[in-house]
Structure 1
Amino acid sequence: MPLRESSPRSVLLVAHGSQDPRAAACVRALARTVAAVRPGLDVRVAFLEQSPPSPAEVLRAMPAGTVVVPLLLTNAFHGSIDLPAQVAGFDCVITETLGAPTEPLLTALSKRLPGIDFDGLVLAAAGTRMASARDGIEDVAAALSARFNVPCRVAYAAGVPPTGAAAVTALRAEGCRRIAVASYFLAPGRLYDMVIHSALSAGAAAAAPPLGASWHMAQLILDRANARLLAPAA
């Protein structure tokens, strides 16, 4: 089968959306970083809910063949069902979500960690009821554990246990005394605040900010876009 051209010209970054204005500001900053890494690339943003514009609104003004990159760290409902439904009928290609233990993601997570010595690590995430999506988060936690040679437990803000406090308590039961919290969030918002507060209230020493507009996240987005275009055309 023929291959699509190997370098995107137009990319639409689609985030979940939030009523917290910090979230949209973070996504737009990430879009500017992606554009700076790849000069000449047309990079725009959209949101699945709670914030305008929608993917359909933006795609109407973008060329055929636009690459849609979901700014999602799990392939749960929004990645597997919601986004494809919202872009149905448009001539575009959707990449994989960002959440897998790739080197750019692990480096981005690592560089956001607080600059303290720690002997235990919590990976704080939003939460999902999809077991396959949670398995992906556990894979990232396992990779961080191997990277730093410390135990790493996942904590969720909503939907499923454990909470941030429960994860910290479990690590303390394993003998950890100085626990850091890694942020499996792209942008700040209510769920990020909830799980981080929970972990800190249970005695975590410090917590990382969201992944944000880092160069490593921009590179991960471009890697996803390039990989999708190199895939055989349907």
Structure 2
Amino acid sequence: MRPPLLAVAHGTRDPDGTAATEELLGRVWELRPDLAVVLAYVDVVRPALADVLATLHGDVVLVPLLLGTGFHLRIDIPEALAAAPHVRARIAAALGPHPLLASALADRLREAAVPADGPVVLASAGSSDPRSRADTAAMADLLADRLGRPAVASYLCGGTPTPADAVAALHAQGHREVAVSSYLMTPGFFARKAAATTGTVASAPLGAHDAVARLVLDRYEAACADRGGPAEERTGET
């Protein structure tokens, strides 16, 4: 039997955000109905990761529904696993950066009917972790390649520039049309902040896009096969 896929999301108080996460996991299950798919959250929403781990035993592949290698992936998730010695988990890499996300972001921009030319500001939640910010910058490069026009990384908190500052800088350079690409998993507080960026049209968050669902499964398979070494085993032992 294949080990279950334990998807771990951040969590949001916005019910639309929770619904979007559940829809994404439903799409993952539709693509792989032979696979047990379990959902947990690291913050705000239940079921909490610790509570879900208490119901599991043996081998698990944990796939973070996170877009960068930040605090939750480096600290919170390993600590929860260390407190669950009955679980033998492999932790997959964060979802981003990845070309599949660039495809999903491009689709969301088209759905928002943003201008077909001009630069794009990639609006991420942000992080105090420089590795997470570097992941966002790499994602901006992938999006620029996908769109064939410039994409600038920005951070709604925990980094600079903010989306508003990035848009202002592009306007100062003479760009009249600037779009905001919401590099966020679901609707919620940060998505509303991105959408409120002055003088732009903002796309919707990634949500339950098929490319994101395929990426979740790709991360799962990579962790199972230990391809490329981003996953690491956590047995709960310290």
TM-score by length of 2: 0.88
SS in 1 for 2:46: coil
The amino acid of 1:218's aligned partner reads A
Q: 1:67 matched to which residue of 2?
A: 61
Distance of 1:147 and 1:173 partners within structure 2: 25
Please state if 1:217 is matched with 2:192.
no
2:91 to 72, 90, 94: 94
SS in 1 for 2:195: helix
The amino acid of 2:212's aligned partner reads M
Are the equivalent residues in 2 in contact too, given 1:125–1:156 (CA < 8 A)?
yes
Are the equivalent residues in 1 in contact too, given 2:133–2:159 (CA < 8 A)?
no
Q: 2:224 matched to which residue of 1?
A: 229
Distance of 2:225 and 2:33 partners within structure 1: 20
Q: 1:50 matched to which residue of 2?
A: 44
TM-score by length of 1: 0.89
Equivalenced residues, count: 223
For residues 168-223 of structure 1, give each alpha carbon's deviation from its aligned partner in whole angstroms, at most 9, with x where no partner exists: 111112222111111110011112211331x2x2x11x111110011110100000
Please state if 1:103 is matched with 2:102.
no
Q: What is the percentage of aligned positions where both structures have the same residue?
A: 35
Distance of 2:214 and 2:2 partners within structure 1: 13
Distance of 2:193 and 2:222 partners within structure 1: 35
- How many angstroms does 1:161 deviate by? 2.3
Are the equivalent residues in 2 in contact too, given 1:11–1:43 (CA < 8 A)?
yes
The amino acid of 1:154's aligned partner reads A
For residues 133-166 of structure 1, give each alpha carbon's deviation from its aligned partner in whole angstroms, at most 9, with x where no partner exists: 1111111111212222222112221122222211
- How many angstroms does 1:40 deviate by? 1.9
Distance of 2:144 and 2:210 partners within structure 1: 23
Are the equivalent residues in 2 in contact too, given 1:96–1:224 (CA < 8 A)?
yes
Distance of 1:186 and 1:224 partners within structure 2: 16
Are the equivalent residues in 2 in contact too, given 1:157–1:192 (CA < 8 A)?
no
Distance of 2:192 and 2:113 partners within structure 1: 20
Q: What stretches of structure 1 of length at least 5 have no aligned partner?
A: 1-6
Mapping of residues 126-165 of structure 1, within 5 Å: 126-165=125-164
SS in 2 for 1:67: strand
Distance of 2:172 and 2:2 partners within structure 1: 49
Mapping of residues 77-92 of structure 1, within 5 Å: 77-88=71-82, 89=85, 90-92=87-89
Are the equivalent residues in 1 in contact too, given 2:103–2:146 (CA < 8 A)?
no
Are the equivalent residues in 1 in contact too, given 2:70–2:132 (CA < 8 A)?
yes
Change (3 A) 1:174 1:148: farther
- How many angstroms does 1:9 deviate by? 4.0
Are the equivalent residues in 2 in contact too, given 1:124–1:181 (CA < 8 A)?
yes
Distance of 1:27 and 1:105 partners within structure 2: 16
The amino acid of 2:104's aligned partner reads A
Distance of 1:8 and 1:71 partners within structure 2: 20
Q: 2:236 matched to which residue of 1?
A: none
Considering only aligned residues, what root-mean-square deviation do their CA atoms show, in Å? 1.8
Distance of 1:93 and 1:166 partners within structure 2: 39
The amino acid of 2:122's aligned partner reads L
Mapping of residues 150-189 of structure 1, within 5 Å: 150-189=149-188
Distance of 2:57 and 2:105 partners within structure 1: 33
